[in-house]
Amino acid sequence: MYSESADCTIESNLIAVAGDVTVDWMVFVPEVAAPEVLQTTYQWEQRDTARILAMPGGAALATILIRSAMNHVRSGNSDNVSGPSVSRAPLTDPSDDSLTRTYTTWQPFPLRTGDPTLVWRMNRFLGVQPGTQSASSASNNSGFPRCLVIDDANLGFRNLEDSWPSCLGSNQPPLHVILKMSNPLVSGPLWNQLTEHHVDQLTVYCSVDDLRKEYAPIGQALSWERTAYDVTMAVRSHADLQQARRVIISVGMSGALIVERDGPATLIYDPLYQEGDWESERPGNPIGLGTCVAAGLALQANDCPEEPDWVLATSRGLRAARTLHERRLVRPDDDQRDEAHFPLADTAAELMNNEISPFQCVRVSEDDDWTVLGSNYGDAAILAEQLVVRQDAIDEIDLPIERIGAWSSIDRTEIESMRSVRNIIREYLQQPRPSRPLSLAVFGPPGSGKSFAIKQMARQWGNDATKIDVLEFNLSQFQGPDDLPNAMQRVRDCAVEGSLPLVFWDEFDSVLDGQKMGWLAQFLAPMQDGAYVEDGITRPIGAAIFIFAGGTHSSMDSFKSSAVDLPGAKATDFLSRLRGYVDILGPNSAGEADQTWPLRRALLLRMFLATKAPALLHDGRIDIDPGVLRAFLGVTIYLHGARSMESVIDMSALSGKLRFERSALPPRHQLALHVDPEEFLSLVHEAR
């Protein structure tokens, strides 16, 4: 596989590959005691602890991958793929400096977090050593391919016209030119040649991080809608990029954007993951994403040259990249440690896979407040019923869904709030010795599940290195400011015990000594200085996360509008010390613009039924009377938010039942504690 000749000529081939070629040297370091732990003399006693392996990279690897995919479905057709290859010498002799070399270290990582299966994955990229020869002399070929793939890694090929394929600028240009590009983008003689002669055949690929390096205003991953809008606007406002027929931007392993010059933009996304989420569950540094996507695009351009399905091609490339990461150099058994296995066949197979993909697609709106729900669904009520009854409806949903422990949401605003707070907390936890607490606020209607959402998030923070202790104090029950030092002492105790306190200050916006929001001033010093005063002595608090949970305001906007009118409350000083906030919406509608309240209800209802009445579950389906389901989802308001929904379930006679029948509901006067009983029961008995 790695000893092909260095010469190649394209004669009537369907796909040609050109570009920068590398030899990728990988040092494999198994799990051994860290060198800094062992004395130097003992380090020499380690045996069979390191290996080295070289593989073709860049355009040479792309050629191998495309050929393998062609062979997967059409035996023998790999002869229709031409491109550079690497001879044996650079792959076996570390001193051979003819080609550019890259250096990486590899270690065993769990297949997924918590999985005992180990695979080799890249741990660290060490650097690049330029070669002495032309970046891609082997790819200077003749002929007229149907599709030309160029791997431009900014290693020299873009500046060496003698190395370019002769079809560039010829009277028989390729039908499609796929340019895989690295920073700096859209620069050099090659780009000028492509935009001058092949702009209508040109499909450009790069990663979202490449765009960010060009100072594109693309924020952190908060929602797919926001990411899609930011990327689309960045491409459309880039004077050089928008010359290409289309630009494809990958967003990690979780999705991509296809921005057509003369048409709409399309978002390809995994509903269960946003940027970085998929990789975070699979430790190790992923590689090969760009090569896989470029290969998928080339294969589709070859199969359907007149009307390629770019969405299908990009989805296949993403799937192939996932396969490459999950199975990358599968760790061999102890008696077969002489060779690591590169999952070429599995990766290539995904490039031609026609099975159902985890990826969905939707047209991107130029309205920055757009939602996938509004684009894909007309009636959220029908989907809500399916989400309650069928587990597979949740697993197969094509709407972006955020899951944090048992908490989940489909609402864009809520998702963005939770993810932004999670990102802030992650940054705080990366600090070696925080000097003061991280202060955040959470708002929501009564019973919306404010503390539940944050506690579910805390479960993800806690690990062997960070133990989380949850403390809750309701300030409306304190006698006065003199009770605060005792609470702060409990926070200090957590630090002494080696845990990180997550402190809920419930109803922090309540009255103190007749002053509305009087408690705000009491927290200014602890929030800013990380200390409090007790008996005249200033005591440090240490690392902590303060969560200020509103009791009288359902949103940050409501809190601010009231607080600024109370100068004595020090609201402005308090707000300046907050580092973030989240609004939890709960199961009730937040107004006419709120589209997702039926879906929020559905997710809550299924969670409550599955945990409180597990006998209703049968093979992933919840057996519930359609009228009862209609009432739970359709009643106008739950008087006490999620607590009322939970209470109605608790009051129902479900013990020993395999089905939630309408006869199990509590009587009318009991329902009145939590819903409008007339409306609720009329929905139960409504004819359909």
Residue 127 pairs with which residues in a beta bridge? 103
Q: In terms of residues, how long is the chain?
A: 688
Encoded tokens for 158: 């873009």
Task: For the chain, give the longest Cα–Cα distance.
Answer: 89
Report pLDDT for 299.
95
How does 431-462 read in b/e, with b if 16+ C-beta sit within 10 Å? Answer: eeebebbbbbbbbbbbbbbbbbbbbbbbeebe
Report d(CA 300, CA 310) in Å as an integer. 7
List, in sequence order, the alpha helices (H) in 377-483.
380-389, 391-395, 412-430, 450-461
**Amino acid 7: pLDDT:** 32
Residue 331 confidence (pLDDT) above 60: no
Residue 313: alpha-carbon gap to chain centroid:
21
Tokens at residue 246, please?
């289309």
Q: Quick check: pTM over 0.95?
A: no
Instruction: Say if CB 317 and CB 349 are below 8 A apart.
Output: no
Cα–Cα distance measured from residue 154 to residue 635, given in angstroms and rounded to the nearest whole number = 60
Q: Please tell me the least confidently modeled range out of 33-47, 188-202, 396-410.
A: 33-47
- Residues 313 and 301: their CA atoms lie apart, in Å, by 9
**pLDDT reported for residue 398:** 79
pLDDT at 141 over 50: yes
Q: Where are the alpha helices (DSSP H) in 237-309?
A: 277-280, 289-303
* DSSP track, 460-514: HH-SSS--EEEEEEEGGG--SGGGHHHHHHHHHHHHHTT-EEEEEEETTTS-BTT
Q: Angle of helix 380-389 relative to helix 597-612, nearest 10 degrees?
A: 10
> Residue 59 corresponds to which tokens in the numbers above?
């355009």
Cα-to-chain-centroid distance, residue 222 = 9
pLDDT, greater one: 334 or 552:
552
Find all residues with CB under 8 Å of 295, minimum gap 6, and list them: 62, 65, 66, 69, 149, 317, 320, 351
Output the six-digit token pair for 633.
């989802």
Higher pLDDT, 279 or 552: 279
Whole-Å CA distances, 294 to 45, 298, 383, 640: 45, 6, 36, 53
Task: Output the pLDDT for position 484.
Answer: 93
Q: In Å, how far are 111, 464, 531 from 114, measured between CA atoms?
A: 8, 13, 38
Is residue 274 classed as helix, strand or coil in its secondary structure?
coil
Q: How far is CA 680 from CA 225, 380, 476, 666, 667, in A?
A: 35, 19, 33, 11, 11
Confidence grade of residue 560 (pLDDT, cut at 50, 70, 90): confident
Q: For 439-455, what is each residue's pLDDT tens digit? A: 999 998 877 778 888 88
Cα gap 678→375, rounded to integer Å: 35
- Asked which of 77-86, 391-400, 447-456 is least confident by mean pLDDT, the reply is 391-400
pLDDT tens digits, 474-500: 998 998 999 999 999 999 998 788 889
Kindly state the average pLDDT of the residues 362-383.
82
pLDDT at 3 over 60: no
**Nearest-angstrom CA–CA distance, 244 and 262:** 10
pLDDT at 334: 44
What is the Cα–Cα distance from 157 to 194, expressed in whole angstroms?
13
Q: What is the pLDDT of residue 51?
A: 82
- Pairing type for strands 438-443 and 581-583 reads parallel
DSSP secondary structure, 533-553, as one string: EETTEEEE--S-EEEEE-SS-
Count other C-beta atoms under 10 Å from residue 139's C-beta: 28
How many C-alpha atoms does 218 have within 13 Å on its Cβ side?
A: 30
Collapsing DSSP states into helix, strand and coil, what is residue 604?
A: helix
What's the pLDDT tens digit per position in 610-661?
A: 999 999 999 889 999 999 999 999 999 999 988 999 999 999 999 989 999 9
Q: How far apart are CA 122 and CA 124, in angstroms?
A: 6
Q: With H, G, I as helix, E, B as strand and everything else as coil, classify residue 688.
A: coil
Residue 375 half-sphere exposure toward CB, CA atoms < 13 A: 20
In this prediction, residue 296 has a pLDDT band, given cuts at 50, 70 and 90, of: very high
Q: Are 54 and 23 a contacting pair, CB within 8 Å?
A: yes
Give me the pLDDT at residue 564, please: 74
* Cα–Cα distance measured from residue 688 to residue 685, given in angstroms and rounded to the nearest whole number: 9
Tokens of 147: 């599709």
Task: Copy the structure tokens of residue 683.
Answer: 């929905």
Which are the contacts of 38, defined by CB distance < 8 A and separation ≥ 6?
46
pLDDT in tens, 12-57: 468 999 999 999 999 888 765 455 566 666 666 665 567 888 999 9
Rg for the chain, CA atoms, rounded: 30
3-class state of residue 133 by DSSP: coil
Residues 517-536: tens digit of each pLDDT: 889 999 999 999 999 988 88
In degrees rounded to 5, what are phi and psi of residue 362?
-155, 145
Determine the pLDDT at residue 293. Answer: 97
Q: Provide φ and ψ at 98, rounded to 5°.
A: -70, -35
Tell me the residue type at 476. S
291, 238 in Cβ contact below 8 A?
Answer: no
What does the alpha-carbon distance between residue 547 and residue 19 come to, in Å, rounded to a whole number? 53
Distance, CA of 549 to CA of 554 (rounded, Å)? 10
Q: In sequence order, what are the residues at sequence separation of 6 or more whose Cβ sits closer than 8 angstroms to the Cβ of residue 442?
A: 450, 451, 453, 454, 547, 548, 549, 550, 581, 582, 583, 584
Q: What is the per-residue pLDDT for 594?
A: 83
Distance CA 488, CA 473 (A): 10
Q: Which two tokens stand for residue 247?
A: 């630009």
**Average pLDDT of the chain, as a whole number:** 86
pLDDT at 11 over 50: no
Q: What angle do CA 662, 664, 668 make, to 5 degrees?
A: 80
> What six digits make up the tokens of 674?
């939590």
Of 552 and 250, which is predicted with more confidence?
Answer: 250
